[in-house]
Amino acid sequence: MKKFRCRQGRSHPGKIVLVLEDNYCICEGVCLPRLEDNYCICEGVCLPRCILYSHYLDFCRNEKLDPACAATFGKTIRQKFPHLTTRRLGTRGHSKYHYYGIGIRETSQYYHSVYSSKGLTRFSGCKLKNEVSL
């Protein structure tokens, strides 16, 4: 991944961006700090990848940014949290991929919408006591 100026006419001209695929760029000054503000390394906590991506889509909609695809967003997550592992949880035929080792900060706007729902994952009862700051 290389850093250079956005040449795609996006809504962030002149800012340093990460170009992850030919057609998509993720603004480093906007998206990466947002990940740090909303998520933290947290042992024993598992979040579905689709939830993190839906949070990203919500953010892009609010900021009027063009969202990248899920695979590109996954590369950004891996850049910010390189020690994450992936798990496939669920019964046969109904499994979903999850990030293991990442939690939503209690100060995040997404915290209550995710952790207040019952049965998110089998790890949803874990407290964020092991929260590690970056």
Q: Which domains does the chain have, with CATH numbers?
A: 39-115 (1.10.10.10)
Each residue of 5-32: pLDDT tens digit? 444 444 444 444 454 444 445 555 567 7
Count of alpha carbons within 13 Å of 53, Cβ hemisphere only?
Answer: 16
pLDDT at 14: 46
Answer for the pair 124, 111: CB distance below 8 angstroms, yes or no: no
Which pLDDT score is estimated for 1? 40
pLDDT for res 23:
44
How many angstroms separate the CA atoms of 74 and 47, rounded? 13
What does each C-alpha distance from 49 to 93, 94, 98 come to in angstroms?
A: 17, 14, 5
* Predicted local confidence at residue 33, as pLDDT: 78
* Percent of the residues in the chain that have a pLDDT greater than 90, as a whole number: 16
Ranges of residues in the chain with a pLDDT under 50 are 1-17, 19-24, 118-119, 121-130
pLDDT at residue 5, rounded to an integer? 41
